Amino acid sequence: MPTGQHLISGEWVAEGELFSNAPVSGAPESFHAGTPELVNRAVEAAEAAFPSFSALSRSERAAFLRKIAEEIEARGAEITEIGTRETGLPAARLEGERGRTTGQLRLFADHIEDGAYLDKRHDEALPDRAPLPRPDLRMMQLPVGPVAVFGASNFPLAFSTAGGDTASALAAGCPVVVKGHEAHPGTSQIVAKAIDAARRALDLHPGVFSMVHGGNHAVGAALVQHPLIQAVGFTGSLRGGKALFDMCAARPEPIPFFGELGSVNPMFLMPAALASRGADIAKAWAGSLTMGAGQFCTNPGIAVVMQGPDADRFADAATAALAEVGVQTMLTEGIASAYRKGADHVSQAAGVQGLLTSVCEQRNATPYLYRTDAKTWLANEDLAEEVFGPLGMILTVANAAEMQAVAQSLKGQLTCTLHLDDADADAARALLPVLQRKAGRILANGFPTGVEVCDAMVHGGPYPASTNFGHTSVGTLAIRRWLRPVCYQNIPENLLPADLR
């Protein structure tokens, strides 16, 4: 059973006011809420750990990542048991997410052992060059320092305590301080135990990892504003992420805030694909839209279709498929309440037709489906806002020009999807340059839920999908968030970092 304590520099600490988790079954458990003072202790320990941890060889850090994965797997049954109770997610989903979590830890271990991420460059000295000689110049990427990570509500494993932000930061050589999410503190604590067990097994500095359980806004503010924190990783709401982003920018020494804030992930159905297999696409869309009660940041909330009989058949098929989906449990009552409010807001907008609506209470959610046209959409910016949950909207356009206008109107997205047949190539070719500027990942004939963890993946995009369009929170490129280039000019060989000699 969880003890409700924080992990601060290798010690379990019972300080702070008590709060309770909200399991879907069984009695609530008590946890100590974080405080600014606890944050300070954790960050100072991380700074103390930085010299020795960043100086480890790449193989030593890789061994640490692999050991964390082993320790998480050893606690797999515990994690699944409390994770299902705290989040309402099914055991199979959590077991799959645990596999993704340990898989990305091992992926980053392999990645840093390869060494290509260091981007090493060497321009040899040219002492006889005229009119001026060139010095010896060597460059490589170095870790930035202690990193703050905010656990996500919707991924209690893969985007939380030992998730991609933590894995990539540790791989880079940066100690990590995690602010655990209050929606699943028991799950977070067991994973923190796994990380600490790995640290102890390899006799690393205790400040290399700390976790403070969620507290009030002052705790998050204390973390991002601490002068020793050098970068922040965040996955969550636009409102919360924007507030933290502004704090990072307003610091006396501004730091990068890598926030993944979600999007509506529109799908564009090209005419030939809509005519030939619109019903099949609609059924598959319903499955993607309701996966995990729609609580994915890549949830495809918008389907853009050309008006006419094919669009009507698509709408009928989507409505029928969604009507078969039963009641699902959402992650928290707060998320469920926000989902219902978002659905109410959409339903009350002028020019929006409800195709499938229902009544759900407490942590329960059922699908909603709406339909509107391009003119209504373009005149009401609120319709382009994400509703976190299994809510879909069909957006009909009169012609290719209106489809182009809809694409142009989009804010930054994590994903955009094209459904197309061979006959749609010209139409898709005209749309693709717009979508390339709007999203970090563009799909053809698929659905964006399910993000492959690999070298080529981009999970980010222009604002507000993320706060830094040049980076990703999934895939091996995520490590670049926690590195900075350093150039060494005429430094003697025996003083250079081992990787540059």
- CA-to-CA distance for 308 and 324, rounded, in angstroms? 25
Catalytic residue among 260, 386, 402, 416: 260
Helix 91-114 / helix 76-87 crossing angle, nearest 10 deg: 120
Strands 267-269 and 302-306: parallel
8 A C-beta contact, residue 1 and residue 29 = yes
Concatenated DSSP letters of 326-393 = --EE-S-HHHHHHHHHHHHHHHTSTT-EEEE-----TTEE--EEEEEEHHHHHH-GGGGS--SSSEEE
Do strands 353-356 and 368-373 pair parallel, antiparallel, or not at all (unpaired)? antiparallel
β-pairing, 147-150 vs 231-235, is: parallel
User: What is the total residue count of the chain?
Assistant: 501
Q: Of 185, 165, 184, give the one whose Cα is nearest residue 175.
A: 165
Q: Which of 174, 248, 297, 360 is catalytic?
A: 297
User: For the CA atoms of 172, 145, 472, 219, what is the dihedral angle to 10 degrees?
Assistant: 130
64 vs 492: CA distance, rounded Å: 31
SS3 244: helix
260 assigned to active site: yes
**Residue 108 burial class via C-beta count within 10 angstroms: exposed 0-12, middle 13-18, buried 19 and up:** buried
Rounded to whole angstroms, the Cα distance separating 373 from 378 reads 9
Q: Would you call 73 a catalytic residue per the annotation?
A: no
Query: Across-strand partners of 11?
Result: 8
* Residue among 224, 49, 220 nearest 145 (CA): 49
Residue 477, CB-side half-sphere exposure with 13 Å CA sphere: 15
End-to-end distance of the chain based on CA atoms, in angstroms?
Answer: 49
**Active site residue ranges:** 260, 297
